[in-house]
């Protein structure tokens, strides 16, 4: 980010990108839009009864070789929504469109998908 150069923040300083954006009073509009569209798409998929919903949940039958992967755990599609109460609560909200739009609405301010 070129704002680091403007604020004279060294590359060795531990300053998060969000903090730099607050210092220069900017927002990440593209990330906001991506998260909002992703939430809308997941709500659409969870309301349907199809194979895609099973793929997103990770509940496909079959033989999977169990090997220990290196590095951190891969993020799944539903992990990004960050509902602490679990999948059932998220699915219940998706079935009620009014509740879903209140959580991930189009007219709400910046959508933070980890806190709702």
C-alpha–C-alpha distance, residues 100 and 95, integer Å: 8
CA distance 44 to 59: 18
pLDDT of residue 82: 62
Q: Distance (Å, rounded) from C-alpha 18 to C-alpha 27?
A: 9
Assessment of whether the complete model's pTM goes beyond 0.85? no
pLDDT for the residue 111: 43
Neighbours of 9 (CB within 10 A): 16
Phi, psi of 107 (to 5 degrees): -95, 0
* Spans in the chain with pLDDT lower than 70: 1, 56-66, 75-85, 105-116
């Amino acid at each position: 980010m070129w704002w680091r150069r403007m604020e004279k923040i060294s590359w060795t300083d531990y300053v998060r990108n969000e903090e730099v954006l607050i210092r220069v009073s900017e927002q990440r509009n593209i990330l906001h839009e991506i998260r909002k569209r992703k939430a809308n798409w997941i709500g659409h998929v969870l309301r349907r009864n199809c194979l895609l919903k099973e793929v997103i949940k990770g509940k496909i039958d079959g033989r999977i070789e169990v090997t220990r992967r290196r590095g951190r755990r891969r993020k799944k599609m539903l992990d990004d929504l960050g509902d602490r109460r679990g999948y059932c609560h998220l699915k219940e909200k998706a079935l009620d469109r009014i509740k879903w739009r209140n959580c991930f609405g189009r007219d709400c301010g910046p959508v933070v998908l980890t806190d709702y």
